[in-house]
Structures are given as structure tokens and as C-alpha cells.
Amino acid sequence: MDPKDFLAEAQIMKKLRHPKLIQLYAVCTQDEPIYIVTELMKYGSLLEYLQGKGRGLSLPQRIDIAAQIACGMAYLESQNYIHRDLAARNILVGEVNSVKIADFGLARVIKDDEYEARVGARFPIKWTAPEAANYNRFTIKSDVWSFGILLTEIVTFGRLPYPVKIRRLRCCLHLALPSNKCLTLREHQQDDVRGMTNAEVLHQVEHGYRMPCPPNTPQALYDIMLDCWKKDEMERPTFETLQWRLEEFFTLPSSEYTDSNNMANK
């Protein structure tokens, strides 16, 4: 990262103070490389945590993590800041599943409710809202779209967004015994799971595609994801609304949500 960009990120971190945002302690600029000193988050990124030590988290615990992130984003929303890179890799995990938003390298203050990125800027397409990916036009509602993608990472323990199953026809030619000289064709179909390419994601999303409900995910939680992915950004919820909707899960009867860990054991 360019030293100027590094210092710009530090300035943003210095201005923004909230329990769910990573806190800046110091910036060391005497010699290069420049260092940013922040509070320690013991378990590292949420993505690595979900794929490793956090695989035993229950659904309510994962929803609580999502609610914490929404709380931090609601603060950014109130301060007219956009993150622009909201993803599990940029959330840090501390003790007792406490999480904080980090990596403000792409964060920007917005005026008139909109920020236009410079031409040629690069963004993580699979997490980026279509209006931002196609037209470099960012609002807090673009972060809401990314939050919906982040929710899929949380409920699937860090699965790459936009997985697709490709049915491959595998033809195996086998030479029979010389006595009959028969050539037989055996067809084998196998599921090959890979992620969509960035170009495929842009095309499919623009034509109305949305990821299907992840396995063992409550319909009410999937409805939140779909609300985050509304084509008209003005129809997407605020982060304040997302926070209380996620926190509301803990007041629902247990029959109204499904714990994927329990389902896996049935």
C-alpha cells in the first residue's frame, strides 16, 4: 500500500470511535515501513475463524456476530462513512465471539449521499453492489448489499460467495479384450463445485440472479439477505434496521429458526 493511503486509513480510524470498530492506538512513521498499532483481536479474521476454530458455532451465535457487525456499520452510516470492502476477511474476532470491523483502506466519507470512485479503481466484485461495480457509484446502500453477501459467509462457515455446480460429463474410453475388439463408452457425471467468475457474477446479478438460500438457513434470515440485494438501492434496509432485525431472532420461538448444527445431526 502507498504510504499516503496507509496514513489516510489511519486518519479514518482515528476519527471513528465505536465499540464495534477496531481501535487505533498509534501510528509509527519515523521510518518505513509505516506501522499502524491497533487493539489485539485474538482470533484474527472472521473468515479464518469460521473456517477453523469457529466451525462449532451455533446458528444463534453466528446471528449474534452478524448483529454486532450491523451495529458497527450503523455507526458508520450515522457518520456518513462507507466502508466499501465489507467482507468476513475484514472483520476481526476477539474473546467470547466479540467481533469488530477493520480494514478501512477503501473507506470514504460521502457527501450528498453518494461517492464516485476514480476510474480504474479495483473492487472485490463478489461482494460489491451492481451500481458500484458497474458505475463506480457508492452509497451506504452499497455496503448493505455487501452485508448481505457477508451473511452468506457467516451462515456457511466461510464459503466463497456465488458457488455454482457444474455437471461435467466424463467419458472414459476402455479397450476391451483383443478377441472382441469392442470399444465401450462409459459416462460418468460428477459434481464439480467452483465459484462463479467475476464476469459471470456481474452478468448474472445484472439479469436478476440472486444466490439461493444457503443450506440450513432460516427463511427469515434469507429474507434479510434478499432485502440487502434489492436492485433499487433505496429499497434496501438501513443498518439500524438490519441490527434490530437480527437481534429480534433471539426473541423468536426456537421452532422459527433452524440451527444447522442440530439439523446435521438428524
The catalytic residue positions are: 85
Q: Which three cell numbers stand for residue 29?
A: 512513521
Please give the Cα distance from 153 to 160 (Å, whole number). 7
CA-CA distances (angstroms) from residue 40 to 27, 48, 113, 158, 255?
Answer: 15, 16, 33, 22, 38
The closest of 245, 243, 221 to 75, measured between CA atoms, is: 243
The neighbour count for residue 142, using CB atoms within 10 Å, is 27
For 128, counting Cβ atoms within 10 Å of its Cβ (0-12 exposed, 13-18 middle, 19+ buried), the class is buried
Report the alpha-carbon distance of residue 161 to residue 227 in Å, rounded. 17
Phi, psi at residue 211, to the nearest 5°? -55, 140
**Checking phi first, is residue 13 left (phi over 0); if not, alpha (psi -120 to 50) or beta?**
alpha
Q: Which of 6, 28, 26, 5 is nearest to 14 (CA)?
A: 26
Characterise 158 by phi-psi region: left (phi > 0), alpha (psi -120 to 50), beta (else).
left
Q: Which amino acid is at 164?
A: V
